[in-house]
Amino acid sequence: MRKLAAALMLLALSCTASAQSTVPPGNADALPIEAAPPDEFQPPAESVVAGLSSDSVAITASFDGSDILIYGAIKRESPIPEGPPLQVIVTVEAPSSGVTVWRKERKAGIWVNAQSVRIGAAPGFYAVATTADLDDILLPEWDNRYRISLPLAMRAFAGQVAVESAVPFTEALIRIREDEGLYRLDEGSVSLIDQTLFRADVSLPANLVEGAYKTRIFLLRDGQVIDVFVAPINVRKVGLERWLYRLAFDQPFLYGLMSLLVAVAAGWGASAAFQKLRRP
Amino acid sequence: MQIYLPIAEVSVNAFTLIGLGGLVGVMSGLFGVGGGFLITPLLFFIGIPPAIAVATGANQVVASSVSGVLAHVKRKSVDFRMGGVLLAGGLVGSWMGVWVFTLLQELGQVDLVVQLCYVVFLGLIGMMMLQESIRALRRSRKPGNRKRLHQHNWVHRWPGKVKFRASGLYISVIPPLLVGVAVGVLAAIMGVGGGFIMVPAMIYLLGMPTRVVVGTSLFQITFVTAFTTLMHAVSYNTVDIMLAVLLIMGGVVGAQIGTTLGAKLRAEQLRILLALLVLAVCGKLALDLFLTPDDFYAIQPGIG
């Protein structure tokens, strides 16, 4: 019960960051909200109201990862329906970019990159947190529709696929990114109380890339998605990090000269300092 | 202490970077190599994206070579005229090298070519130096042998002879110019200053005395890497100044320690050490090529 009270309090405190999924966006600044499942004509019997502990992440020089708390409640007009219990899936994803996955082969005794699969868009970071085993709570057709599970998070092979099967390549991409902490599937990490209140903690790694991140919260019953909530997380560099980054891209020549100046000054400074040290 | 690098977009330990810079700085001061062939693979290893490792490595080499070359200028062990000729060749070579690099990138397999280049050149140079310096060490142990200043070979028969006073050489400008071009090309392809090729080429091809080789090589490296850094910053935006500053902090101090150490060691011993270091890096890279990899798959950003 203490958990419940805490979650309620959090909810009350942060109404600014929260939004209701079934209400259409009133103005341009409102959070982009995905349409409710297409075959629903009236508001779903159960819908999500959720918020984030922060809707932006600032990357400073000492940034070494960040934890985001995603919490919310289920809003319903009628009593809790009978049948299988409610389930919640929370995903956080970074903007996507193209990647090439290479497979090495032995040619003339040495290992070389032989075959490749080009993936048009794979998120730089993707975390899935659930209340139970993903396979048990989500039907494949609903997974396909919302692209929830890790293999479905990446889209579109770029160009022609020259290999027999692209599956080992996408599996390798997921495995390598999982090892780096960039892709994560945390089954059972979302806590749901009384089929009403939930919270999920998602930790963002230190090797984070700037961009507009997206959080999605899915409500499921009997393997089917009954409501979706989407909220953005803005990840951006601030202060010195931002200034250097902008300079490098807007004024590359100036930035290059500055880098050289730092190098020459440091080299000269050390030389002069050691000269003094040797002959005091 | 973790620090987030703005261009590389990764978070790394600041002290690891300072330590790496210091280690490479010692090598730089000791042997007259920029240390690019060490710093670049080491940066890959701690998770810096390759393009950024190459460009920022070059920037770090600028700092450690400036620091080293100033120490050598004070000891009057820089042949400026020779350095100038090598530099002229080097800039032309590195411009050509960048062109070749772009061509290789279009063909794919640039990684393999770079790695093979490392193995072949490091292997050849390491063996040559080791053999020669062991022979020299043996010879110097037997006193009474009249030692010639240097061997006269084909290099001395070319036209356009110029006096290189600091090196005590009277040779054609063409061979040093060609050495400069060759090193420049390799430097641009392999993403290094080229000192580890330059130093043996100066000793064995041009017949320069070891005394001025290190200083002159550092002098040339300073300018070639400065040129490379600027080129990378302007065309690829891959120089990470935060990363460079940390590497440089360790590097400049290391270079001074290296130069001091170098003055105390004998030239033959110095050469044996450099040969062993070169062979060690070569062996590591060769193993990567021949041994079955832990992971058959690798991810490369972009779908170029």
Convert the pLDDT of each residue in B220-260 to its tens digit. 888 888 888 888 888 778 888 889 999 888 887 887 788 78
Collect all residues of chain A within an 8 Å Cβ-Cβ radius of residue B226: 260, 263
C-beta of residue A167 within 8 angstroms of C-beta of residue A224: no
In this prediction, residue B61 has a pLDDT band, given cuts at 50, 70 and 90, of: confident
Indicate if ipTM > 0.85. Answer: no
Average pLDDT over residues A2-16: 45
Virtual torsion, Cα A210, A152, B51, A63, nearest 10 deg: 30
Task: Count the Cβ atoms, other than its own, within 10 Å of residue B112.
Answer: 16
Q: A2-237 maps to which CATH number?
A: 2.60.40.3880
CA–CA separation, B58 and B66 (whole Å):
12
Q: Which two tokens stand for residue A85?
A: 């219990």
Q: Which residues face A246 on adjacent strands?
A: none
What residue segments make up the domains of chain B, in order of their start? 2-141+160-289
Burial A76-99 (b: 16+ CB within 10 A, else e): eeeeeeeeeebbbbbbbbbebbbb
Q: pTM (2 decimals)?
A: 0.72
Handedness of CA B45, B51, B54, B60 (dihedral sign): negative
Q: Please tell me which of the candidates B232, B256, B302 has its beta carbon nearest to residue A98.
A: B302
Q: Which two three-digit tokens encode residue A175?
A: 């495995």
Find chain A residues with C-beta within 8 A of B251's C-beta: 266
Which residues in chain A have Cβ-Cβ distances shorter than 8 Å to B73?
none
Tokens found for residue A60: 């400073």
Task: Give me the pLDDT at residue A12, please.
Answer: 43
B237 conformational bin, left if phi > 0, alpha if psi -120 to 50, beta if neither: left
- pLDDT, greater one: B89 or B142: B89
**d(CA A83, nearest CA chain B) in Å:** 45
- Is B114's pLDDT higher than 80? no
What is the residue type of A264? Answer: V
- How sure is the predictor about B124, in pLDDT bands with cuts at 50, 70 and 90? confident
pLDDT band per the 50, 70, 90 thresholds, residue A20: very low
The first and second tokens of residue B210, run together, are: 């070891």
Q: Residues near A259 by Cβ (< 8 Å), separated by ≥ 6?
A: B59, B229, B233, B239, B241, B244
Do the Cβ atoms of B12 and B42 come closer than 8 Å? no
Q: Does A157 touch chain B (CB under 8 A)?
A: no
Reply yes or no on whether the pLDDT at B157 is more than 80. Answer: no
Separation CA B218–CA B90 (nearest Å): 13
